Structure 1
Amino acid sequence: MSRSLASWIRVPALALIVFAVLGQASAQQPATQPAPTFTGAWRTTFGDMTLTQTGADVTGSYVSAGLTGVVTGKVEGRTLTFTYKEAVAEGEGVFDLSPDGATFTGKWRVKGTQPWGQWEGQRVDPAVAAAGATFAGVWNTSFGSMRLHQDGRKVHGTYAFAGRSTITGDIDEKGVLTFKYDQPDGEKGDGQFTLSAAGGSFSGTWTTVKDGKKGGGPWTGTRIVPKPGVIWLIVLEAPWEAQLRDNEFSYGLMLRTYFARIPRVQVRHRSISDEADVRRWCGEITYLAEPVVLYFSSHGTAEGLTVGGSKPIGADVLTECIRDAGNIKLLHFGTCLVAGGDIPKKIHEGLGKGATFPISGFSQAADWAGSALVDFAYLELIFTQEMSPADAAKQVRKMMTFAGEKPVGGTIIPPTGLVVIDPPAK
């Protein structure tokens, strides 16, 4: 059976109406949507990038690890083929824009080499970035690691060049930070930083006058983004051995091994033999982007840490050492007596607004093994059960009779007096 062409064109009147309506609606829709371009601000594998596309031509720049790179290339379809150039390297690459223009995937390689590396990016809405942009955070800069604190338009911080250098300044109406810097080597100067559209990098300059001569140059930085979920346990420990024939033993080595099973807990163990060591390692905590539990392991008295046979390291030095960190979540003294005196209170008072974390430790002359058992249980509850220090200490005192401040009849290990001192209410 077959139908003639005439039978196919006998369309019912209702169908004709439907076709007419659909055709009219279709005519009112734009034939094509504007194709997305590479123009805009991007947060990429290698720092913040700003691109401008004019026709098929693309130009732009990015900041990665304190170095500025320039990009030039051409677009065909949604693929950008480009070259890049930095101060000490140059190469080529390809970016493929997603259909919605929100991301790109790509690759790069140094000129004259074969292996390709991965380079990806995500578009950043300039308005959103500008609204939330801040200089506060940790930066990898042309002059070493830097941590900045921002309070309104006021900015202050430290950077690692030439030791513990300081920076202070103000942000103007255009968002430019004008600052002064001061270094331990005697150099002082001025400068300006401007945040990128995405807020993940800054570009700027510095100037100084030394021995009657003016100097200066570029100063750039890339934000170090905290890794989600990661927390540091920094153990600063004085040697326990009194003489050469003594075997080596330490809390830090045990803690590092114990918490190796939990990848998100990054344990670092460093030896301290004097005040200079305490200052050095505490200073480096400042440039970690993630939260930190700082653990001192040494002999101690109510006057402070006894390290290397020198006078006790007291609250004034400890306060100065951690003042610029901003990422400490708990300060714990795995020492005798330190937490039983007024050192925790003096540290909190000395930090002022920066006193945002609790301080814990032992109020009694703790037994070495007893304090080890208490500390392992205490830190276990904090890191794996995610208890607050106060709740963790309560739980440990319930589980271990010698964790309290008073002796319990029939027990061999003397009391450690585990206490937690919260910061004063603001």
Structure 2
Amino acid sequence: MAVINRIADFAEDMTAWRRHLHTIPELSFDCPKTAAFIKERLEEIGVDEIHEGIAQTGIVAIINGTGDGQTVGLRADFDALPIEEETGVDYVSTHPGKMHACGHDGHTAMLLGAAKYMVETRNFSGRVALIFQPAEEDGGGAQVMCNEGMMDRFDIAEVYGIHNYPGAEFGAFYTTPGPIMAAVDMFTITINGRGGHGAMPHETADPVVAACGMVQAIQTIVSRNTPSASEKVISVTQIHTGSASNIVPDTAMINGTIRTFDKDVQALIRRRMEEIVAGQAASYGVEASLDYEVGYPATVNAPAETAKAADVARKVVGDAKVDDAFPKVAGSEDFAYMLEERPGAYLFLGAGEGAGLHHPKYNFNDEVAPVGASFFAQLVEQLQPAAK
């Protein structure tokens, strides 16, 4: 495995940075301690510029190369999750009810490690924009950073990101051109009927029966309305109604999630949801409203940039450990907003055995950090060779 020797030399630094971040998990945009720690490390490393306050606590740092060239963006998210930690490690979260259960502490350590190496060597042309982003888990921090003009402000031409992948082969990279992660939408249906005695249902407009009908009809969108070859998921995850065995309630609520990879399929599903809710409400004699919330778009890798990233990954870990035709993942990622503004690629990095993402026993594997940092550094060096 061709981890850069100099990066391997300060692997202990990356571990220390990561474990400190693990003790101070913060949520969404409200990450002042995390941002302050990142700024302190960037100042120690000696980057050329530090720009704070983007999307509230986000940071963009600039490293200048040895000659003219474009700016490559490298992104690490740094927010945590509202989960009570159960790892038992000696650097456990000191913030009750919050933990780094998705490895964003590790992503940040990897990017800081790459930054330290690139500042020391400057073995590239142009510039690197180090993007430290809040609110990936909740709030769409990537979208906010883009809406605040980050791409134009720092003249970013391409953008790349990594996410650790517990349970996958240690040090292996996984990516694919085109959609790699799904768009995520959420829906809530509120049904207003007319309650009454369970022994006299003919005097009611039963929202429970209407809810059952709607759920059944919604399932036909996938099986009967969308192309069979398109990849999509509609999951009804909540139904809330009623209070007693002998009372027909007045109201019912249905909630769920939709995952798609194609905007036309996404639009079709939304239209059919609206038609089904209206039609089923009329047929059952109730009133119903659909609250359809459009979430993160699909994460779509640019083919040329994905090929470049996969080539660099092969140089770091070898051909056998790079899968550049990885199946799409139905999870979502707000890095999608950055890829909508600039070409680039998103990759998964295998972290070996361990608890899965968003699990209270999850813990980032520090041994994989030098691999991710080496990928970031070699990506910049290959995309923008140093002036001779």
Same fold (TM over 0.5): no
Normalised to the residue count of structure 1, the TM-score between the two structures is: 0.22
Higher relative contact order (CA 8 A, sep 6+): 2
Normalised to the residue count of structure 2, the TM-score between the two structures is: 0.24
Bigger strand fraction: 1
Bigger helix fraction: 2
